[in-house]
Structures are given as C-alpha cells and as structure tokens.
Structure 1
Amino acid sequence: MDIDVLNMFLVAGGTLLVPILAFVTSFLLWPAALINIYYWYWRRALGMQVKYSSYGNYQFCYTSRGKPGNKPSVLMLHGFSAHKDMWLSVVKFLPKNLHLVCVDMPGHEGTTRSPLDDYSISGQVKRIHQFVESIGLNKKPFHLVGTSMGGNVAGVYAAQYPTDISSLTLICPAGLDYPNDSTFLKHLKGLEKSSPDDQRIPLIPSTATEMQEMLRLCSFVRFKIPQQVLQGLVDVRIPHNEFYRRLFLALVDEKSRHSLHENMGKIVAPTQIIWGKQDQVLDVSGTEVLAGSIRGCQVEILENCGHSVVMERPRKSAKLMTDFLSSLQSTENNKKHD
C-alpha cells in the first residue's frame, strides 16, 4: 500500500478514535458530567431555553418554550429532589404550540437555596406564586401540572389561588391521607420506631446500590442502567443530600403531611388525576380520596406503571394532558357558540 494512502487512513482513523476514546473515558471517569451534557442536549433539541427570574432577592431558574397565546400556558412542578429537566421526556410529546414553563422548585438546582427559607408545602406554594408573578404567567389563567411533592404544591396552589388556574393535572400527588399504606409509607412508619442511626431514607441515596434501590421503589418498569450511570446519578445528588434530608423532614412534618387533603375541597378548576397502579411510594388509593372531594375530576390509572409516571410513560402522560386540555378547549368553544 502506498505510504501516503496508509498515512491518510491512520489520520482518518485517529480523528475518529480521539472523540470515541474521550467519550469512553468521560463515561468511566466523569459520568455526572455526561448526565449534565445529556440534559443540555435534549433541552436544545426540544427548544427549551434556560431562563432566570427574580422576586426581590430570590432567584428562580426555569426552562420555557413558546410564548403565551390563545391556549393556556402550562406550568410544570417537579417532585422531591428532582429538577426542571425531568419533564423533558414529556415535553418531547407535547404540542409545540403550547407555551411550556418548567421551574426548579425552591432550593432545587438553579433556584435559590436558603437555610432561612420555609420548605413546608405552604412555604413552597408562596414561592411558586412569587415565581408566577415574577414572569407574569398569571396575566391569563394557566394550566398547572405537578407530580409527587410538586403535585401537593400544585393542588394547594389551585386551592389558594383559584383565579390563577384554568385547569389542573395532578400526577401521583403527595399530601393525602391515603386509604392504603404504600410500601414507602410502611417503611416510614418503621423508621419512627428505629434509632436515628438506622433512619436511612430510601429517597435519598448515597451509593450506586442505594440509587438502584430507589429506582426500583419508584418505577414498575425495570430500567437497565449501567453502573457508571448509577454512580453519576448519585454523584450529582450527594452534594445536595443534606438539603434533601431537611426538605424531607419538612414534608413529613404535621404542617405539610396532609396539606393537599386539607385543601382539596377548595379546588374549583377542572382537574385531571393521573396515577400509576403499581405506585409503591404513594398508593393509588389516593385517587379515591381526590375523586370524592374534587367535583367532576377525571381519573386516569395507568397499568404496569409505578410512581415515576413521567419517566415510565412520558408519551401516555403527554397524550392524557393534551386530550384533557383539548376537551376543555372544546367545551369552552361550545359555550361561546351557545
């Protein structure tokens, strides 16, 4: 083979090999960095822009796509220890003509974390209202979506600020007095009887093994996740675990434990409930509680789905929300023509 041709192949091979080796090395040594790159890529691909807003000295971080229009804007509130990017899997399947806003909840990710802040549900509701006002989202009533802890906040928000809300979607919300205890709630009751040294909270993992256990608790679907990715997920969380523990204790305190239950009777907005039938964190019997209190609410129970509805069934979640909003829009249009 001609030496120049050989050199060309070597150079071409080397050009391809360098980024491949860099990726493999990064995957093995810095999995947390790759996870951040993953979110960055999907935000760009889906047109979600990272933005900041302020209310006094308090800063909120959020992503958004589109602009307010004829249809209600959609505000999405994530769950405990998550962040705004958890909604990306659902955003992928939502219509592009919707104005979407996903905010980091108080103390999470890019939103201000202060040791003086009130992380009870009522405290978080006040902060989310400040966020809504800071970006002028409530100039027109908007659709509010919340999952787990975010569902608790969303439900209480709808009860306390009814004129802000056009409609509501609650996904496996916390804050109820559930007829049946979930696996997780049974574990919590066991913790109350154990010594402080044994009180490991399953939702606050500090090792790859504990991370895997948490995912099994939260999901019915068994995701095959490489060890390096599990470690990366833990590495991202560990610096925040002290805050998560403080937040968790605020959420299970008597002030917040049944916040949604205490406020659900005040919800007047059209409401949609979505729940995974195999939820081990918050039992699906919560649907009975909400359906018995919120007039005319629509209940959707997903088979073969756990607590992480947004991650396990993103396409279905998006379709249910889109259909719900479309049905409300049709009803509104019919009223105008009558």
Structure 2
Amino acid sequence: VDPDILFQNLFIYVIPGVCRFWRRRLGMTVRFSHVGSFRFCYSTRGTPGGAPSLLLLHGFSANKDMWLPVVQFLPQQLHVVCLDLPGHDGTSRHQTDDFSIEGQVSRIHQSLFDVGLKHFHLIGTSMGGNLAGVYAARFPQDLCSVSLVCPAGLEPPEDTEFVKRLREMEVQKQQNQDLSAESIALIPTTVPQLQDMLDLCSPVFVLQMMKGLLQNRLPHNPFYRHLFECISTEGSRHSLQENLGHITVPVQVVWGQQDQVLHVSGASVIAAALPHSQVALLDDCGHSVALERPRKLASVICSFLSTQEVTNRDVEKKKSC
C-alpha cells in the first residue's frame, strides 16, 4: 500500500468539502431518484453508451464517495453510478424499512429505472458485495456481469479474529447476557474503539483525523447498530453463499490478501461454486481495497470487462455463422 495515496483517500471520510471538490474534479454529479416516499442519492458521470454502465455499491456505514479513489482511474467514457445504500448519507433512512439483504436488494432494484440503468456491470464491496451477489441471483436480466470485492455473506473455511468475536457475542446474546456495553468493531463510540476499527480496515490514520471521523459517525451509530443487527440475522448473514448457485452472469472476485475483516479464503468458496469466475487476490492489501489499492482495483475491473467484451463478441460471431 502506498501510504501517501491511502492518507489522501482517507480524507473523504473526515472532511465533506474534500468530497465535493473531488467529485467536481472527476466530473461526478450528485442526483436523486424517488420511488414513492423513498429517496435514493447517487453520484454519476457520463451517459449510457456502447460499454456497460457501472453501478457501485459501498460497504457498511460508508457512502458513495468511498468509490472516488477508484473512479479517478476508470476510463472517462464509462458511465459510472455510485449509490448511497438505504439509510446511508443522502438516501432515505426510515426505521420501518426492511434493511435485510433481501430488503435492500429490492429497494435497489426499484430505483434503477429512474436512475437510467438497464443493462450494467454491478460492483459491490463488503456488505455491498453481499448485495451485489444476491442482486445478480435475483435479477440476472439487469446485469451483464458482477464484481464482488471482499464480499460479506459467505461461510469461509477460515475466520478472522473479527468474525470470531462476533460469534462469541452471538452466543452471549443467546444466553441473554447484557451486551449493551459491548462494542461492535465497525460501530465505534470512542477514539480507542475507532482505532481498533481502523486497524481492521485501514492501516494509516492520525489522531486528529480519528477525532474528526468519530464526530461524523457518532450521530449515525444507532442506525448502524440497527443495520448491523438486520444484516446479521439468519436470513441475511449467509445470503451470498445461499444464492451462489443462482448466479448465471459472469463473476469476478477481488480480495485483499491481508483482509482482517472477512477472510480471504472466502474467495475459494465462490470459486468452488462458480468455477468460471475470475479471481484476483491482491497482495499488500486489506479489507478497504477501494482506499488501499484504487488504481489496481480499477485496473482489474477494466481487464475483466474487456475479457467479457471479447467473449461476447466471439459468441455473436458464432451465432452469425
């Protein structure tokens, strides 16, 4: 990981003005889509054309701007849409909404007509990777292909320490033990807890930036805890794995070799279920691939799209013979 690149990218989580400046510099425009009383917020660049559009889904408690480091390395001619997932940033947060994986997938599907996406390449990371995989299983007619970046929703052969601790907390909860004082690593309430989260996700952060990030996150922690409970239920926890057999579109898997949140062995689970999937394991990279290796991530995605384009062209040639 280049520390300078990572340090620069981390500012998008601390200073909102940096996001606005970066979006303008990259030609990204913030727009809104309405389905009844529900509002989706997204940023977009370009218009649908010959190449497939890209729809990017962020991870738990992040937002659309986490993709800016990657967008800067994507070809200008590509139509790119970065979505705020339900309850995040500019998208509606209704406490009565269904925040399960299936519920979020249904919401995303409802928004796409207004967003202007018809046949596109879907990219998701972490929780967004779980959503992307389940979306591919549910709505294959919408997609040309899908990229799963360190996706949640699997039962890998090995667990990280983070997942082991979550399992311990689940057992304690089943035993009716009081977990009100327990901290979920991805929902910090103090600077030391935030440091623990960053040690999991991003290796470089200075104290002043941590304090700023914590102040930005604290008001949203009740929702993050509610969301975490929704996606950790029996019906959502392994949604991706349960739907792998229903995915028919071409699949790419990207995973950081040093991921401390979701073990890289999850890639082997997808490869076993989908033998034709393309797997890219990135050295010197943890869970936050879009922040740690944005240029490399953009490169492997574009290479995958090029491969699919050649394959589709060959299929069309055979049909015409």
Normalising to structure 2: TM-score of the pair?
0.91
2:58 aligned partner, one-letter code: H
1:288-312: CA deviations, max 9, x gaps? 1101112400011111211111111
Indicate whether 1:214 and 2:197 are aligned: yes
- Cα distance, 1:336 vs structure 2: 3.0
Q: Does 1:173 align with 2:151?
A: yes
Cα separation, 2, equivalents of 1:296 and 1:314: 25
| Residue in 2 that maps onto 1:317 | 297
Which of 166, 175, 180 in structure 2 is aligned with 1:188?
A: 166
1:304 counterpart SS class:
coil
Structure 2 residue aligned with 1:10: none
Q: Does 1:270 align with 2:253?
A: no
Q: Which residues of 2 match residues 292-331 of structure 1 at below 5 A?
A: 292-331=272-311
- The answer on 1:150 being equivalent to 2:128 is yes
**Contact 2:35 2:110 (8 Å CA) reproduced:** yes
Write the letter of the residue equivalent to 1:88: L
C-alpha displacement of 1:335 = 2.9
Structure 2 counterpart of 1:132, from 109, 112, 128: 112
RMSD between aligned alpha carbons?
Answer: 1.5
Alignment partner, residue 52 of structure 2 = 72
Q: What does the per-residue CA deviation read over 1:153-207, in whole Å, with 9 as the maximum and x for residues that have no partner?
A: 0000000001001000000100111111111111112223363134210101122
SS at match of 1:256: helix
Q: 1:121 aligns with which of 93, 101, 124?
A: 101
- CA distance in structure 1 between the aligned counterparts of 2:98 and 2:104, rounded to whole angstroms: 7
Name the CA distance, whole Å, in 2 between partners of 1:180 and 1:159: 25
Who is 2:77 aligned against?
97
Would you say the 8 A contact 1:32–1:232 is kept in 2? no
Of 71-80 and 32-41, more deviation after overlay is shown by 32-41
**Residue 226 (structure 1) aligned with residue 206 (structure 2):** yes
Q: Which amino acid aligns with 1:234?
A: L
Aligned to 1:35: 15
Question: Any gaps of 5 or more consecutive residues in structure 2?
Answer: 1-10
Please report how far the alpha carbon of residue 32 of structure 1 lies from its aligned counterpart in structure 2 after TM superposition. Answer: 9.8
* 1:282 corresponds to: 262
SS in structure 1 opposite 2:121? Answer: strand
Is residue 100–residue 230 contact of structure 2 (8 Å, CA) maintained in 1? yes
The corresponding residue for 1:251 is 231
Any idea what SS the aligned residue of 1:188 has? helix
Q: Indicate which of 202, 216, 219 corresponds to 1:239.
A: 219
Q: Deviations over 1:211-255 (max 9, x none)?
A: 222111113xx21x3322111111111110000000001111101
> 8 Å contact 2:57–2:84 — kept in the other structure?
yes
Q: 1:90 touches 1:317 (CA, 8 Å); kept in 2?
A: yes
Q: Which stretches of structure 1, 4 residues or more, deviate above 4 A after TM superposition?
A: 31-34
Give the conservation status (yes or no) of the 8 Å contact 1:151–1:170: yes
Larger Rg: 1
- Match of 2:50, SS? coil
